[in-house]
Amino acid sequence: MKNALFHCCQPRVFLKQGESIALLFHHLDIGFVEIKEFNCCGYPLKNINFLSYVTASARNLALAAGRGLDVVTYCSCCYGSMKQVSHLMDNEKTLAREVNATLRQEGLKYQAGVGIKHYLEVCYDDIGLSALAGMVKRPFKGMKVAPQHGCHLLRPRRTTRFGDAAQPLIFEELIGITGARSVDWPDKRVCCSAPIWGVNDQVAMGILTRKVENADQAGADCLCTACVNCQLQFDKVQKMMAADRGLDRPMPSISYIQLLGLSLGIDSGALHLDDHEIPVNGVMSFL
Amino acid sequence: MFFTIALYTSLAVFLLGLAYKVSNWFRYNPGNTGPGTPLGRLWAFIKASAAVISSRKVFVLLQALVVDVFLQVRILRESPLRWVSHMFICWGFIFLLLFHALDHFTLNRWVAHYYPTLNPFLFLRNLFGAVVLAGVFLAVYRRFFMKARPVLTNAMDKYILVLLAVVFVSGVALETARLTSRTEFAFMVADYAGLDEAADEEEIADLERFWVQEFGLVSARVQRPFDADALAAGKRSHEMFCAECHSSYKWAFMSYGASKAMGSTLALRLDKARVLSSLWYLHILSCFIGLAYLPFSKMFHVISSPISLLVNSVQDNDKSVPLNIATRQAMELDACTHCGACTQRCAVGIAFDVIANVYVLPSEKIAAAKALAAGRRLSEQELTTIVDGFYLCVNCNRCTEVCPAGINLQEMWFATREALLKRDVASYYMLSKLSFSRGLNRSVLSEEDYHKPLVRMRQEVAAEFKRIDGQAGAIHLSHFDPATKKRLSLSLQGETSSSCFTCTTCSLVCPVVANFEQPRQALGLLPHQVIHTTNLGMLNLAIRSEMLWSCLGCYECQENCPQGVKVTDVFFELKNIAMDAFKQKALGHVRS
């Protein structure tokens, strides 16, 4: 099944991960299609109007289904939203009817069976660890990485089903083939606090500080994120609060796209590493 | 006489209107930032423009002029159909304006023997007229008949399509009437052929036959079939008296085609009724009314949109004086053509289908931004609807990327939003992930401006969801309401809350709770207490707690619940119920 690349709304202004992942996919020979008509996955609307959230993701899945495509994304929030909505649409008939009535006005229909993948799954399942390891040109030597999946990649497990086990090791293994070593840190699966940034900054900063200190204590040299929003928290927001919270050694954070890309030999400028608020030269020195 | 008066009157109205609109560019201040005086802004603008023109930046300006204004590449990138439609209308109109309406100042001066009835002018006028009408047809098709992601069409959109249609169709009709008119033929013969009606009757008749045959004239005086010799004689007269100024009207394919379709009977009747005269007035008046009304209508974009594109091509946001940024924003407000490209690309446009707040859509936001910048008085309800619509934006920047007029839409939304929030018109949508972008842009706002609306929202929540008994301290359980519990059975998620046996696992794994030394004090209720309160039917208590609004939605609680209570999803339901209540309150309904 060919993939439709789903873009998270946030990176257009901030991280440009959309461009980086396109570059990575070209390098890995993963084919994908752009659907211009995709809308927001609806995640930010969940608080205010649940139906609009479901309709938003259902529309995206309907667009992909109409073209016979699966969806691949690089944001855990988008991933989790689409997974949850497809689960709801498949199981709640009344809701599905109401949503389809709205989509019908545009000539669209939600259809079950659209594959929803995170790019980590594509790397792990479609390419495979050994094949990926074979492509690595510049391995990271001796770098310790604290992985951050992003809540919605892992929970609720009933809908996301990321990996085979309750504690999937996909991400850790993928980090491993780049030469870096992933560390097990206690706050690994804790939320980055992005959802309440802008609503309750005090609590968000508290949670974020705790996480960063935790990763530091576990011996990590940097954080590695699989979600756009986590990356924004660890980079932009950590920088914003560094002075406020007395974090004199803010921990750099890169996305797995960048980690893998660098190890494959892709230029750091092309991966937008220069745009980071917290400098990543520390990371580069391990290459 | 009439023509001159009408021209100068409409020109005067146009110029006055233009002056008024331009003055707004130096008065309006959408972002409500340090504005300066209008003269101060004008001066800053002149200085900056002079600096640009006398530097290498002038090449950037010229490039923008060619690529964005003349070739309109931004439209092409988004939609070839719209590009064709607009290029046709735009360039067809410009050619006709310069070489037909203003032919006295252009072609008449440049071309040795210029007569509008000669080729290539005769043909080209028809060609460009056809091009404009084709463009209008495509525009109508796109607005009213295309299915995918429709655009909203307002009175002004309809006005300019109607105006263009009237101007161009009346122009074709005028030419059709003129070429078929026997009355006109008689006038022309008297003025230019030097033939006498009485003495040269046969010569005129031959000329008439020739004109009926070759030029589409309709006459009751000569009957077919025409004698070959008569036609030859007519042709000789034509070459002597008419050919200098007239190419065959067959080249005026639209008018000629229309005349043939019309048929002789109708043509004769219309000639008798002197329809020609009425059509002339219609054509002239529609043009002059269009001219006079231009500054106040959507047609003003022919001036304001190129200016917005040019200014944006050279203005550097980081280096510009705030006065010039405010001026640029004021110019942008006029540059919008309501084409709807932004709405078609809006990432949350789909939300409009469910939430029905028109200000969610970027093309409608601009109108509100303009009204606010103009200082129009709006009701509290209108303001709330506007701020909600403006807040329902994920700041993805797609609208800005596709705007063919080069408007910095996302920046406009931020500026207008913050101006409203500063005026104490806050949105309940702030208590959601929609605030993430605002948080990321914290540094551009003062601490006070940043926090004030959030504090106000919490006060509103507390005021709206009072404790039922209106007191402090312990609650008597006799106050619980079984009916409210039913509201949570909106979906499969809500119903699971009744399985809770308060093991408190959810509270123990919650990262928000773990953030505090004294979580109950900071959050009001802990997660398991929110669930229990809900089960008791006391939604007010649950909703007024800080815990609900500081919930991350990270699903840690739901994942660990041994009873399968969908804790996080129940929280989302509660938030939705609260939002619904806020909306009802804003609409002025009494909450049951």
Structure confidence at residue A22 (pLDDT): 93
Q: How many helices (H) and strands (E) does chain B have?
A: 34, 0
Query: Cβ–Cβ of B394/A236 closer than 8 Å?
Result: no
> What average pLDDT score do residues A171-175 get?
94
Tell me if A82 sits within 8 A of A71, measured CB to CB: yes
CA B423, CA B437: separation in Å to the nearest integer? 20
CA B56, CA B60: separation in Å to the nearest integer? 8
Does the CB of B319 have a partner CB in chain A at under 8 Å? no
- Which residues share a beta bridge with A145? A182, A222
> What average pLDDT score do residues A70-91 get?
95
Give the number of residues written for chain A.
287
CA B352, CA B74: separation in Å to the nearest integer? 26
Task: Please report residues of B whose CB lies closer than 8 A to that of A151.
Answer: 552-556
Single-letter amino acid code for the residue at B167: V
How deeply is A183 buried, as exposed, middle or buried, from its count of CB atoms within 10 A (0-12, 13-18, 19+)? middle
Query: Cβ–Cβ of B430/A232 closer than 8 Å?
Result: no
The DSSP call for residue A1 is: -
Who's near B280: CB < 8 A, 6+ residues apart? B174
CA B564, CA B562: separation in Å to the nearest integer? 6
> What average pLDDT score do residues B217-246 get?
89
Given pLDDT bands bounded at 50, 70 and 90, which one contains residue B151? confident
Pick the residue of A47, A151, A227 with the most B CBs within 10 A to test the interface with B by mutation: A47
Report residue B525: phi and psi, to 5°: -130, 155
Tell me if B130 sits within 8 A of B254, measured CB to CB: yes
Single-letter amino acid code for the residue at A257: I
Query: Cβ–Cβ of A199/B430 closer than 8 Å?
Result: yes
CA B373, CA B381: separation in Å to the nearest integer? 18
> What average pLDDT score do residues B539-563 get?
93
Report residue A223: phi and psi, to 5°: -100, 150
Query: Cβ–Cβ of B346/A240 closer than 8 Å?
Result: no
CA B8, CA B558: separation in Å to the nearest integer? 75
Instruction: Single out the residue of A257, A254, A227 nearest to residue A26, CA to CA.
Output: A257
pLDDT above 70 covers what percent of chain A? Answer: 99
Structure confidence at residue B472 (pLDDT): 63
Task: Please report residues of B whose CB lies closer than 8 A to that of A36.
Answer: 345
> What average pLDDT score do residues A196-209 get?
94
Q: How many helices (H) and strands (E) does chain A have?
A: 14, 8
Tell me the torsion sign for CA atoms A121, A126, A130, A133: negative
In this predicted structure, the answer to whether residue B500 has a pLDDT above a threshold of 50 is: yes
Single-letter amino acid code for the residue at B486: K
In this predicted structure, the answer to whether residue B352 has a pLDDT above a threshold of 70 is: yes
pLDDT above 70 covers what percent of chain B? Answer: 94
Query: Cβ–Cβ of A37/B149 closer than 8 Å?
Result: yes
Task: Please report residues of B whose CB lies closer than 8 A to that of A105.
Answer: 353
Structure confidence at residue B468 (pLDDT): 61
The pLDDT tens digits for A211-268 are: 999 999 999 999 999 999 999 999 999 998 887 776 667 899 999 999 999 999 999 8
Pick the residue of B429, B515, B516 with the most A CBs within 10 A to test the interface with A by mutation: B515
The pLDDT tens digits for B449-493 are: 999 999 999 998 988 887 665 566 666 665 555 665 566 554 556
Lowest mean pLDDT among B63-67, B269-273, B289-293: B269-273
CA A160, CA A49: separation in Å to the nearest integer? 22
C-alpha distances (whole Å) from B461 to each of A236, B363, B455, B495, B545 are 30, 31, 10, 25, 9
Residue pointed to by tokens 């050694």: A249
Given pLDDT bands bounded at 50, 70 and 90, which one contains residue B434? very high
Query: Cβ–Cβ of A198/B438 closer than 8 Å?
Result: yes
Q: Which residues 58-97 of A are in CB contact (within 8 Å) with B?
A: 59, 88, 91-92, 95
Task: Please report residues of B whose CB lies closer than 8 A to that of A13.
Answer: 395-397, 410, 437
Task: Please report residues of B whose CB lies closer than 8 A to that of A82.
Answer: none
* Coil vs helix vs strand at B487: coil
Residue pointed to by tokens 């507390």: B462
Pairing relationship of beta strands A181-182 and A116-118 according to DSSP bridges: unpaired
In this predicted structure, the answer to whether residue B301 has a pLDDT above a threshold of 90 is: yes
Nearest beta carbon to residue B436 from set A45, A190, A198 = A198
**Residue of higher predicted confidence among B233 and B481:** B233
Task: Please report residues of A whose CB lies closer than 8 A to that of B395.
Answer: 9-10, 13
Structure confidence at residue B487 (pLDDT): 60
Q: Which residues 512-531 of B are in CB contact (within 8 Å) with A?
A: 512, 514-516
Structure confidence at residue B566 (pLDDT): 92
Pick the residue of B433, B491, B573 with the most A CBs within 10 A to test the interface with A by mutation: B433
Query: Cβ–Cβ of A43/B431 closer than 8 Å?
Result: no
- The DSSP-derived string for A61-79 is HHHHHHTT-EEEES-HHHH
CA A47, CA B165: separation in Å to the nearest integer? 47
Structure confidence at residue B591 (pLDDT): 40
- The DSSP-derived string for A48-113 is T-HHHHHHHHHHHHHHHHHTT-EEEES-HHHHHHHHHHHHHHHH-HHHHHHHHHHHHTTT----TT
Query: Cβ–Cβ of B440/A210 closer than 8 Å?
Result: no
> What average pLDDT score do residues B246-255 get?
91
The pLDDT tens digits for B50-95 are: 999 999 889 999 999 999 999 999 999 999 999 999 999 999 999 9
The pLDDT tens digits for A30-64 are: 999 999 999 999 999 999 999 999 999 999 999 99
- Which residues share a beta bridge with A146? A223
Structure confidence at residue A164 (pLDDT): 80
Query: Cβ–Cβ of A39/B428 closer than 8 Å?
Result: no
Instruction: Single out the residue of A19, A105, A12, A121 nearest to residue A71, CA to CA.
Output: A121
- Which residues share a beta bridge with A4? A33, A71
Compute how many other C-beta atoms are within 10 angstroms of the C-beta atom of residue A196.
Answer: 25
Report residue B9: phi and psi, to 5°: -65, -50
- Helix B322-335 to helix B362-373 angle (10° resolution) is 120
Min distance B361 CA to chain A CA atoms (Å): 13
Tell me if A150 sits within 8 A of A225, measured CB to CB: yes
Tell me if B389 sits within 8 A of B360, measured CB to CB: yes
Task: Enumerate the H helices of B299-445 as residue ranges.
Answer: 301-314, 322-335, 341-345, 349-355, 362-373, 380-391, 398-402, 409-422, 436-440
Query: Cβ–Cβ of B394/A107 closer than 8 Å?
Result: no
Does the CB of B228 have a partner CB in chain A at under 8 Å? no
Who's near B318: CB < 8 A, 6+ residues apart? none
Single-letter amino acid code for the residue at B184: E
Query: Cβ–Cβ of B553/A195 closer than 8 Å?
Result: yes
> What average pLDDT score do residues B525-530 get?
94
Min distance A193 CA to chain B CA atoms (Å): 7
Does the CB of B394 have a partner CB in chain A at under 8 Å? yes
Q: Structure tokens of B455?
A: 């504090």
Does the CB of B438 have a partner CB in chain A at under 8 Å? yes
Chain mean pLDDT for chain A: 92
How deeply is B248 buried, as exposed, middle or buried, from its count of CB atoms within 10 A (0-12, 13-18, 19+)? middle
Structure confidence at residue B256 (pLDDT): 93
Spell out the SS3 assignment of A137-192: CCCCCCCEEEEECCHHHHCCHHHHCCCCCCCCCHHHHHHHCCCCEECCCCCCCCCC
Q: Structure tokens of B317?
A: 């946001």
How deeply is A198 buried, as exposed, middle or buried, from its count of CB atoms within 10 A (0-12, 13-18, 19+)? buried
CA A3, CA B192: separation in Å to the nearest integer? 75
> What average pLDDT score do residues B231-241 get?
90
Given pLDDT bands bounded at 50, 70 and 90, which one contains residue B1? confident
Does the CB of A197 have a partner CB in chain B at under 8 Å? yes
CA A173, CA B366: separation in Å to the nearest integer? 49
Q: Which residue of A has its CA nearest to B578?
A: A48
Structure confidence at residue B590 (pLDDT): 42
CA A73, CA B552: separation in Å to the nearest integer? 21
Single-letter amino acid code for the residue at B591: R
